[in-house]
Each structure stands twice: as C-alpha cells, then as structure tokens.
Structure 1
Amino acid sequence: MLNLFQSFFGGEKSRSHYPESLIEAAIERAVDGTDARLRHLPGYRNSLRKPVIHAVDHVVALIDALPAPLAAGREDFSTDPRLAALFVSAAQMQEVFGRDRALNAYMKQASVAAERVTALLMAERVEKNVLGVDQVGGQLRRDVAQVTVSFRKHQLMEAAEDEAESRRLLKRRAFDHLLALALARIVEMRGERADLVRQRDVLRHKLATLARNGWGFDAADAEDEAEAADPASLQSDLADVEQQLQELGADSGVLGTHLECVADLLSQAEQQLKIENVCMRLDSMNIQRDAQDAAAHDIVLPELHNARGQRSVLLLVSIIPGDLPQQENLLATAHRYL
C-alpha cells in the first residue's frame, strides 16, 4: 500500500508538464485515498491518468493564484484592514496563532527556529442581519437594519519556513480533499450486493480516518486534536480498513462503478473545489457599509468552496514566531499544585 502520508507535488516544472513520477504517484494516491481494490481492475491507471492530470492542473492553479503572504506580525495588525476584519485585536490574533496546533507542531519539529513562518489562515465567515444604532439623515436612530460580519474557527494549515514549500503542501492538501470528496460520494452510493452495507461502513470509517489526518480544509474539532496528532495510529487504522476491504473481495462490477466515480469527480475538479473572492466594505465594527462611507474599508478575501457546501475564507500569512505569546504547559502547572 502506498504511504498516504508521504509527500508529493514536489519539483513540478510547470502545469501540464509534470514529471512522470509525480503523475504515477498521484494516480496511486488517488487509488489509496479511495478504494485500494481498484488495482484489481485492468487498465485502472489509464482510466485515471487524464482525470488525475486534470485535477493536478486545477489544484496547482488554485494554490498558485493565492496572493503573496500577508505580513501578520503584531506591528502589522493596524496596517492592513484584512487583519482587522478577521480578528478583534492584535492580541487576539497573536493568541490564536500562539495556540494553533498545526503551527506548534511545525515549530516543535523544525530543526532551526525560523524568523518567519508562512501558513494558510482559514476562518469561517458569518453574516448576521441585526438592528443597531446608526446615523440616518444626520440623526441618530435606533433599530436600523445592519449586516455584521464576523469570523470564527480560525486555524492555520501547512506551516513552513519557505513560502514555496507551504504552497506545495497546500496543493497536496487540495488534491487529497478532492479524493476525500470522491470517497464521500462512493460511501453514499447504493447497490444490491448483500455486503454493500458493510463496504459502505468500512469506507465511511476510512473517510473519517483520513479526515482526522487533515485530508481537507475543515476546521478540526477540539476533541479530535489528540487523535489527529498521531499519524502512526492513523496509519494503523487505515491498514485495518484496507485489510477489511480486501476480505470483501474484488467484485468487478462494484469496483468498476467506484473507478468511474473517482475518474468522474477528478475530471470535474473545478466544480468540486473552487476559490471565489468575497468583496465587502466594512467599518471598524465589521458592519457592512455602502461605497459613500469614508470611514469604511474595502476588504477582498478569497473564499474556498467545495461541492458539499463547505466554505472558508483563506489568506496566506507570514508569522513571526518570536512575537507569539508562550503557551502555558498545563502538565507542569498541574504538578505545581500537587
């Protein structure tokens, strides 16, 4: 079985001119990321080759189109309205970065302390219709209809000292997310074989396991963080799932449908995963204003959408780890009180 945690998308020269080794690795990753029994089908590589190249083209273009990293140090907060929109204050921004699990994991394994780290900041955008106080016709009035914008579930992804490396990791994540969408579609498919219910449950287990390891752009739940931090355990779980799938046998009819499903979804990668700019004009309270309001700022944020209705704004940021608040060692603190 191909190691699903291995790194790829490395060293491509230009879109549609990838080294053969990358194409082959991406095909095998597509099989392992969905149903490894597809290898029982003759010609599975030929069936997946063009869809995989199409999907790789799409995710490479998607990530390459992201703007250059935004400096997100303590002193940068007041200089860019995007940061002021995403966070309540510079202190809150630093606190969010300081306790981020992905950033802390990267800093622990980094051999040399980096002066700056590039990562993808993601957050969920929430708009609410409220009644507030506002100036109308030169008079202060209550119960004025307003639209407020807030952001929650902030998290960092694919931290790296080098921007190019962070983008490469994001391309891999985007490709993996397409595979997770394909697997989700397979899970939802119905059939008449007596063991299809068991197949569905086993594949659903695999999908949940991959999701815990970050095969997508979803915000991690706090209670899942400990599980997600153990790749060895996840790899063991996946090996068990693959063994169960092999025991179910290789029904060519069912597998042919699965192969068609994967190829079809990858061929429609641009409908499955896309980025659209969200344009807003916000004041200091994150209330939407019209173009005539001189106190408001125009904010443009890329927003990632997938075919299952999930969406998150995203922004490449450049963080200064030395500026971040030190996180308390809870275990050490507990020992002090024992």
Structure 2
Amino acid sequence: MFSSLKKILGTETDPFSLTIKEAIELVVDESIHNIRFVHGYRKKLREPVETAVNYCTDLARNIPGALDLDDEDPAVSAIIGGFFTDSVQARKVVSESPEVKRFLKEKSVNEIYALVTMKRRIKTVYDSGIQGQIVIRDIATKAYLFEDHKFILPSETIEEAFHAIRLGLLKILSHQALELSLDLQRRELELEHLREELGVKVKLMRDERQQMALEGNGKEGDTGYIESQHLLHEVEQELAKVHSQSDHPEDYLNRLIDILSHPSRYLSLNLIPMRINRLGLFVKDDADSATDRFRIAEFTSGDAESRSAVLIKCRRDQLATDG
C-alpha cells in the first residue's frame, strides 16, 4: 500500500535544504516586504523561522505517499477509485493541471510526483454488516467523497516533492501575515466609510434638533442623537486602533513573528483514518486493528476550507496517452 513520507524517507532526512538566511528572505518575500525596513529584522526572525521550518517539516513527513496511478495492485486501484472514478480519470485530471503541464514542458522526466489536494465531503450511505452471526441491513454509514482535485508542486523525485511541500507549507504560514494585514486594511476602509456615514447622520440630527428647539420641541429626538454620537465615538476609537496596527513595518514584523512562533495556530494537519467498504467507498475507521485502513492528511489554514492531501506518482507516457 502506501504510508507516510516519514517512513519512506526516514527520520534523518535533511530537515531543510535552504540556509536559515535564505529561509528568512523567502518568508519576507511571501509576506510583507516593508519588514526589510526594520533594523535587525533577520536576527529577530531567525528563531521564529527555525520554529516554523521544523513544524513544516513535521507536517510534510506525515503526508501519505506515494500513490502510484500506474500500480495494477487491486488494493491500490481500490484506493485510487475512492479518490477518483478510476486510474484513467485520475491521469486525465493530472494531465489537465496547469502546474503539471508547465513542469513537463520544462523538464525531460519519465516519472512525476505531485501533491493532490481535494475537498472532502461526508455523505450518508446505507450498507449491510455482520453483528455476531446476524446480517444487519441498511446500516447508516458516513462515507467520504472527494472532489475539486488540484495537482500542485510537481517534482522529479520523492525527495524533491518532500522539499517542495515543506516550502509550500512555509509559504502558507508567511501568507497568513499578509492576509492579516490585508484584513486590517479592509477593516480600515469599512470603518472610514462608516465614520463618514455616521458623521453625516449626526450632523443632520443635530441640525434637526436645533430646528426643533426653535419650535419649542427640544426634547424630541435626543435619544437617537445621543446613541448616534456614542456609535460615532466607538467607530473613531476602533479606527484609531486599526491605524496604530497597520502603518508601521515593526507591526508587520511582530505579526509575522507571532505566526511563525506559533505555527500550529495558523496551519494544522489532521490524519483521518479511513478504510474502503464493500461498496468501494471510503468510510471512517476507528478500529486500530483494521488491516485495510490508512490515513489521509487534511490541512486547515486560517479561515480557509480544509483540504485533504496525498502524494501521487505517475509516468509521463501515461499522461500523454490519456491527455
């Protein structure tokens, strides 16, 4: 069958082929360039980057691989059929990947490794099973279905694939700092727009109160006017807070340091135990003793939807035949 990259490559695999200086520059390139204006940013980032690199290495080692699309073993074919319709459809999807096309155009290789990520959804299916000596029918079972396949990080060898995956995970962490900064910018625009609207509303209400006072009705409308003033004050306070967080390279750097120092808060991997039932569907499997069980890696990053991942292997000539 297939197992984690950790078992295939061994625990002594070089944890990262980049120097720490190169890793730091990669992180800054993938996040916020203004960080380079901060004096001593490399020194401040050194330990957080090392922490993030080690974390990404551990995650990469737990990804299952490599699933050979050309393997004729019935057990492997069953697994492929759980992720795709069959091997033919799997190779067709690989062939249509822009990254794979570009890789094959630039590289003269016979074999290719690529990471496939998928959306996993749960569907209730009905199956039969045996309890003791009794056959139980119409047992509700949670089946796992996979869709929206994306093939990324094509590589020539499994070692290169491992390295590319680690780099990709480190980039994801780096992007989190950029996303947080963009969220602050969006929040700033929203608050500025709200402040403008409330300012106009408060001015109109103030003019209306003055007119009512001239007519001897000064008490009417006081509650709404006071509430709008309070809301405008709260918006201005929140806007000042956002301004203090979004305009300085030091704030960008501190945000990045926090993410890299606590990577599990922003990027996590969950190993989902599964087995193939008699209908050829993946179902959840909590039985430790099951011989046909395996695990698939599922990544969650920030607020993004979780995606399952497995490393696949295929041959160029097979892709050409089906593409």
TM-score, with structure 2 as normaliser: 0.67
After TM superposition, the structure 1 stretch with the greater mean CA deviation from structure 2, 154-163 or 298-307, is 298-307
Q: Which residue of 2 aligns with 1:313?
A: 308
Do the aligned residues in 2 keep the contact of 1:77 with 1:83 (CA within 8 Å)? no
Report the CA distance between 1:64 and its aligned residue.
3.1
Code of the aligned partner of 2:252: H
Do the aligned residues in 2 keep the contact of 1:182 with 1:261 (CA within 8 Å)? yes
Do the aligned residues in 2 keep the contact of 1:280 with 1:298 (CA within 8 Å)? yes
**Structure 2 residue runs without a partner (length 5+):** 1-11, 193-244
Q: Which residue of 1 aligns with 2:122?
A: 127
Do the aligned residues in 2 keep the contact of 1:302 with 1:315 (CA within 8 Å)? yes
Do the aligned residues in 1 keep the contact of 2:78 with 2:280 (CA within 8 Å)? no
Q: Which residue of 2 aligns with 1:256?
A: 250
Code of the aligned partner of 1:100: S
Q: Give, in whole Å, the separation in 2 of the partners of 1:310 and 1:192.
A: 22
Q: Which deviations, in whole Å up to 9, do the C-alpha atoms of 1:207-229 show, x marking residues without a partner?
A: xxxxxxxxxxxxxxxxxxxxxxx
In percent, how many aligned pairs have the same letter?
A: 21
- Does the C-alpha gap of structure 1 residues 254 and 192 become closer, same or farther in structure 2, counting only changes over 3 Å? farther
TM-score, with structure 1 as normaliser: 0.64
The CA RMSD over aligned residues, in Å, is 3.7
Report the CA distance between 1:316 and its aligned residue.
1.5
Equivalent positions of 1:116-265 (< 5 A) are: 116-129=111-124, 132=126, 134=128, 145-189=140-184, 254-265=248-259
Code of the aligned partner of 1:266: L
Q: Which residue of 2 aligns with 1:210?
A: none
- Does the C-alpha gap of structure 1 residues 173 and 133 become closer, same or farther in structure 2, counting only changes over 3 Å? closer
SS in 2 for 1:75: coil
Q: Which residue of 1 aligns with 2:264?
A: 270
- Does the C-alpha gap of structure 1 residues 64 and 149 become closer, same or farther in structure 2, counting only changes over 3 Å? closer
- Does the C-alpha gap of structure 1 residues 61 and 297 become closer, same or farther in structure 2, counting only changes over 3 Å? closer
Report the CA distance between 1:48 and its aligned residue.
1.4
**Structure 1 residue runs without a partner (length 5+):** 1-11, 198-250, 329-338
Q: Which deviations, in whole Å up to 9, do the C-alpha atoms of 1:32-90 show, x marking residues without a partner?
A: 32221222222222221111111111112222343442322163565354323212222
Q: Give, in whole Å, the separation in 1 of the partners of 2:28 and 2:285.
A: 50
Q: Which residue of 2 aligns with 1:33?
A: 30
Paired residue total: 257
Larger Rg: 2
Decide which structure has greater helix share. Answer: 2
